[in-house]
Every structure is written in structure tokens, then in C-alpha cells.
Chains A and B, each alone.
Chain A
Amino acid sequence: MFLTEEQKGMLDGKKGEVVQRCMRLLVRLGEIYGAEEMMPVKSVQVAGVSYKTVGDAGLEFLQDFADKGAKVIVPTFLNPAGMDLVDWKELGFPEEFAKKQNQVMEAFRKMDISISATCTPYLAGNRPNKGEHLAWSESSAVSFANSVIGARTNREGGPSGLAAAICGFTPKYGLHLDENRRPNLVIDVLAKLESNSDFGALGVWAGKKAGKKVPYFTGIKSATEDQLKILGASMAASGAVALYHVQAITPEADQDISELEKFEFTEKEKQETYDSLNTAEHPQLIVFGCPHASINEIREIANKLKGKHAKKQLWVCTSRLVKEKAEAEGLVKAIKEAGGHVVADTCMVVAPIEQMGFASTGVNSGKAATYLPGFCKQKVMFRDIDRLIEEALS
């Protein structure tokens, strides 16, 4: 692998032990994946933030790295934490968990990382431009950046993202290169997509078909950014899709697809996907915002709750920044008056909801519906917003 003089120096330890370790990690990963050189990155998204995910092993690593003086040199943002960093007590998060979670955040803070705590950095002050190279982890954000924005990033892990943030580089392979951004299969959507959860169902189905490949969608007439966010997140959860194209909608969709294998998503596949994900009839907890809700989604939920009162716990998960916007519009108050909470910094998948006494959750997200049974031992209701709100009120 070709390295500049500066990069060689970093590898030889001229910038200290932490930089040397990180550079060694990037070079070795580059060699494993056949990279010929390093490339600078504009921003980094670091995963492995919730104490529930990283545990003591991760906490100790992060503290040790921070104590050794690790500092990031490019704008670096964080995935959701395991709790609302402000309202955790009110929401019933366990004290011991909160203590550990705060230690994780402190280690990140010491490394100069923004405590953005969101899986949607592109809605919270870090929206990349088309063609920019990034080192993002968080599979749903990777998918959005590549597919909807046309920026370029591989699916990084927590440590490889952190190493890129500390060195400022990532090995140039995979989705940084044109040849790996072409589609390898076509999914023709014949089913009607009427709600955000329909996009989630399509994503769950398509992710299983695509695995690690790049799917190309035809037959989708229109899609909002929120719907594309949900589609990509679902495919990254049920498969490992990091890039997809939608004919006439996404920025790199001008592609030759005539030779590609084609699959059809009809009403039958849609219904089967809903059926396979639904395991609860009357969930105890209703959660929106996977990936983190946009201001539009919060407006929609606040509107639908107007004049009503939820009898069940109802959370709308979002980033701190979007929560502040929602507060300014009176939406946080409106949702609270209807018995719900706008929860920041965390989500139903990385929060310890099973420890908090919940055994079943209602969601409109294909990603959450895929992860909740395994990660949080939940039974799941996977339906659209209207059906879930009806459930919350009953």
C-alpha cells in the first residue's frame, strides 16, 4: 500500500502511540481489503456508543484511549447512547446504567468528539455533500449518505471509524471507488407503498434478497427523504446493504440495468413481510423514530395526537438538535400533553428497554422490527403510524 511520508511517520510512531496504533489498524484493514492508498475523510460517524452495546470492555478501551491523549482531527459525530442524556431519570432508566453511560460519553468528550448521539447526523448538523469521502459507521447513516446524498463511505466499525477520525484518513477501497457503486440486482416494486412502514417492509424484504449487493429499485413513483431513510435502514438491518439506487429519485441512479437479475416485490411479498415481523398484538410500548425522527415526522405525530391521550408509553426518538427544533415549535409540549415523550439521544434498540420492564414494542420501522426480538427480547407490532397511535390510545 502506498503511504505518503507523513503517513509513514505516523505508522513509525512519530505522532505518538495512539496515532501509531490507529494508523497500523487502517493500513492493515486497507491491505486486507486491497486498498492501494489512503484518502482524507471529511467527517466520521462513530458507532458503539450505548453502554448496552459496548459493555465494560468497550468502556475500558475508550477510557484508556482517551487517557492516552487520543484526539480526533476531523469533525466526528456519535451514534445514539443508551439513554436520554438529560431526561433519563424521568423516563425510568436504571441508575447504574446511567452512571456507566455517562462514563462512556466522558471518554468520547475527552477525544473532542461531538456528543451528537444520533443515527441521523445528516439531520443534525452534519449533512455531507455529494462526492465527499467519509468514514461513517452506523449502517443506516452509511446507506443514507451513499444512496440519498451520493457521498462515499464504507460501513465502518466503531474502532475503524475512531481510527479514521484520529488519523484523518481511511483506506481507499470498496464504496470509495466508482466500480463498486454500480447496481448488481433490480427490485421492481409492484406493491403500493402508502406509508413509511410500507417502505420499511420493502427494505426488510429487499435487504434479504440483496445481502451485501447494491440493489436498484424500479417502480417507486415518489419517496420522501424520511421514506428513503427508512428503506435504507431496513435493508442495512436485514441485509448488509450500504448503497442502493432508486430510478429517477436518487443521485446516482443513471445506470445500465438491462443485464441485471430482477426480482418483483408485489402485494404478496409485502404482506408476508408484515406477517413475519408481527409477533405482538397489544404492545406495552409504542416507539417512533428509528432512524431518529425528522422534524416532519414529529409534526405528523404531534398532529395525530392532538386532543387525545395515550394510555400506553409512547416515545418519539430523535436527536438532541431536532428535539430543540421541535421544542421551539411547541411539538414537544403537545406530545407531552397527549401523554407521550420526545426522547433524545437514544432509541428503542440501544436503550435497555428489556431491563425497564417492557416485553413488547410497537414500531413503524423495519430496522427496529428486525432488531428488537434479538437485541431487546421484545415481541413486536410492526404497523403504520395510524395503527400504532390507535394502539397507544386504547
Chain B
Amino acid sequence: MKGRIINPGKAEGEALVSSEPIGFLGGIDPKTGEVIEKGHPLEGKNVKEKVLVFPTGKGSTVGSYVIYGLKKNGVAPAAIVNLETETIVATGVILADIPCVDGIETGKIKTGDRVKVDGENVEVLG
């Protein structure tokens, strides 16, 4: 699949897929990488080294700083794949230098798939 580069880079990892938007502030613990939002489909899962796949971001603009914190604490996702990246996630991945692509039909990727992100290309290796 081909998308639009939000932040360039190469990464490969296991997909962690959310059908719901993710709000990083209050949604993910920047110290551990665990999804902490109550009732979120990914609650209790960890984003560390995963290719994190979700439709779009939501919530507070401070979420950009949480993405930066994940990277600094060594618990960031390897890459982020979105249907549509909004400003909060775009700002976060660029500041943190995490590969990110949008314009991808996120519903076509399943949790556990091996996914490779390379520039604008997103490949499901199976």
C-alpha cells in the first residue's frame, strides 16, 4: 500500500491495530508505552516497538509531547500508520522522529501482522 509520508523513515514490526482513534494525553503512559485509556480497544496493550495502526488522533494537543516522551523513554512505536494524520500526531512524530505514513486503509491491517514501513510504502509481510 502507498500513502503519504508524514515523517520519513524505515521500520519493521508487529502491527498493533486500533479501530478507534487514539488520544495520547491520558491515553498512553509515556513512561511505559502502555495504553491506559479506560474502555479503549487497546487498553492494557503496549505500543513499544510495534507498528501502531489507527485511523486518526484525537484529544489534547499536549498529546504531541506524549509521543515525544515515548521516544525519549525508549518505549515508542517503531512506526505509525494512519488513515488520516491530524496535527497532534503529525507534530509528535516529526518532533520525535518516528516514521509515519497516512492515507492507508488501516482496516486492512490486523494486529499481529508483520508490517514494514519504508517512506511512503506500507507492506504487510504476513
- Given known pairs A28-B6, A32-B87, A157-B87, the reply for A57 and B62 (CB within 8 Å) is yes
Q: How far is the CA of A25 from the CA of B90 in the complex (A)?
A: 8
A48 CB contact (under 8 Å) in B61, B66, B72, B95: B61
Q: How far is the CA of A58 from the CA of B95 in the complex (A)?
A: 12
Which residues from A are CB-within-8-Å of B68?
57, 60-61, 64
A24 touches B7 (CB 8 A): yes
- Whether A278 sits at the interface, judged by CB under 8 Å, is no
Interface centre among A21, A24, A159 (most CB of B within 10 A): A159
For B61, the closest partner residue in chain A by CB is A157
Q: How far is the CA of A21 from the CA of B97 in the complex (A)?
A: 8
Residues 52-110 of B at the A interface (beta carbon under 8 Å)? 61-62, 64-66, 68-69, 72, 85, 87-88, 90-91, 94-95, 97
B94 touches A24 (CB 8 A): yes
A160 CB contact (under 8 Å) in B6, B65, B72, B87: B87
- Given known pairs A60-B69, A60-B72, A61-B95, the reply for A157 and B64 (CB within 8 Å) is yes
- Given known pairs A24-B7, A28-B94, the reply for A57 and B61 (CB within 8 Å) is no
Provide the A17-47 mask, 1 if CB < 8 A to any CB of B, else 0: 0000100110011001000000000000000
Which residues from A are CB-within-8-Å of B66?
57
Q: How far is the CA of A53 from the CA of B60 in the complex (A)?
A: 10
- Given known pairs A29-B90, A157-B91, the reply for A58 and B65 (CB within 8 Å) is yes
Residues 5-55 of B at the A interface (beta carbon under 8 Å)? 6-7, 25, 30
For A157, the closest partner residue in chain B by CB is B61
B95 touches A25 (CB 8 A): yes
Which residues from A are CB-within-8-Å of B61?
48, 157-158
A21 touches B62 (CB 8 A): no
For B6, the closest partner residue in chain A by CB is A28
- Whether A54 sits at the interface, judged by CB under 8 Å, is yes
Which residues from A are CB-within-8-Å of B87?
29, 32, 157, 160
For A64, the closest partner residue in chain B by CB is B72
Which residues from B are CB-within-8-Å of A58?
62, 65
24 contacts between A and B (CB under 8 A): A21-B94, A21-B95, A25-B91, A25-B95, A28-B7, A28-B90, A28-B94, A32-B87, A48-B61, A48-B65, A56-B30, A57-B25, A57-B68, A57-B69, A58-B65, A60-B65, A60-B68, A60-B72, A61-B65, A61-B68, A61-B95, A64-B68, A157-B91, A159-B91
List B residues at the A interface (Cβ < 8 Å).
6-7, 25, 30, 61-62, 64-66, 68-69, 72, 85, 87-88, 90-91, 94-95, 97
8 tightest A-B CB contacts, nearest first: A57-B65, A57-B69, A58-B65, A25-B94, A61-B65, A157-B61, A57-B66, A61-B68
